[in-house]
Amino acid sequence: MNLQNPNIENDCPREELAAYIDGELTPRQELELEMHLAVCKICAFGLNEQKRLLFTLDFALETEKEFKLPKNFTKVVVANAESSVSGLRCPKERTKAVFVIAGLFLLFLLGVGGATKTVVAAFLKFGEQVLAVGSFAWHLVFNVAIGTAILLRSVCSQFVYNSAFSILFLALFFFISLFALSRLFSRYNHS
């Protein structure tokens, strides 16, 4: 092998220097690079500079004292983050986002080009599947609600004929309903 090959100089600086330092090269690649480093002063200088930089970073990170954060650092970061996203709750931002999404979708369709029909068909098929699952979930919730109403009606009708139990049951149902509604309103106001 000719170590004085002038074509070697045209590849300088070599990109494999970082991989060489990290030990990511195969033995064959390492040998070729070491032979190149013996001939090429530019790459040898680059390798030494990268090694010097790594040693400097290692030394700086080892001798650096640990940085202490203020006690309320997380609270300050959270408060700043919450105050900077207030524009996302604005209705104007939502309409702008819808227009941006629609524009991106149109650009996507233009980018797809000739395969637009296939892509649109796939989106429509996906939409049908989502609607089918949503319809199933809606019917399930609706049927459970109807079944619960029927059960409650039959249980309540048994208590209506017995007036002492009916007043107690209605009072209990009224207080439970008030408690549930107050919990729902308080959770809604907190969110």
Domain of 17, in residue numbers? 7-63
Q: Is residue 1 part of a domain?
A: no
Mean pLDDT of 36-52: 88
Structure token digits, residue 87 = 């524009």
Counted residue by residue, the chain has a size of 191
Q: Is residue 40 part of a domain?
A: yes
Q: Is residue 181 part of a domain?
A: no
Is the per-residue pLDDT at 9 higher than 60?
no
Q: Is residue 109 part of a domain?
A: no
Is the per-residue pLDDT at 125 higher than 90?
yes
For the beta carbon of residue 17, count every other beta carbon within 10 angstroms. 20
Structure token digits, residue 88 = 């996302």
Is the per-residue pLDDT at 2 higher than 60?
no
* Cα–Cα distance, 134 to 131 (Å, whole number): 5
Number of domains in the chain: 1
User: What is residue 134's predicted lDDT score, i.e. its pLDDT?
Assistant: 92
End-to-end CA distance of the chain: 74
SS3 category, 88: helix
On whether the CB atoms of residues 25 and 33 are closer than 8 A, the answer is yes
On whether the CB atoms of residues 23 and 52 are closer than 8 A, the answer is no
- Please enumerate in sequence order all residues whose Cβ is within 8 A of that of 19, keeping only pairs 6 or more positions apart, or say none: 25, 29
Q: Is residue 34 part of a domain?
A: yes
- Please enumerate in sequence order all residues whose Cβ is within 8 A of that of 93, keeping only pairs 6 or more positions apart, or say none: 87
pTM of the predicted model over 0.75? no
Is the per-residue pLDDT at 190 higher than 80?
no
pLDDT tens-digit map of 98-110:
899 999 988 887 7
Each as own residue / partner, the long-range contacts of residues 113-118 (CB below 8 Å, 24 or more positions apart, any chain) are: none
User: What is residue 84's predicted lDDT score, i.e. its pLDDT?
Assistant: 66
Q: Is residue 185 part of a domain?
A: no
Structure token digits, residue 15 = 């990109």
Q: Is residue 58 part of a domain?
A: yes
Q: Is residue 51 part of a domain?
A: yes
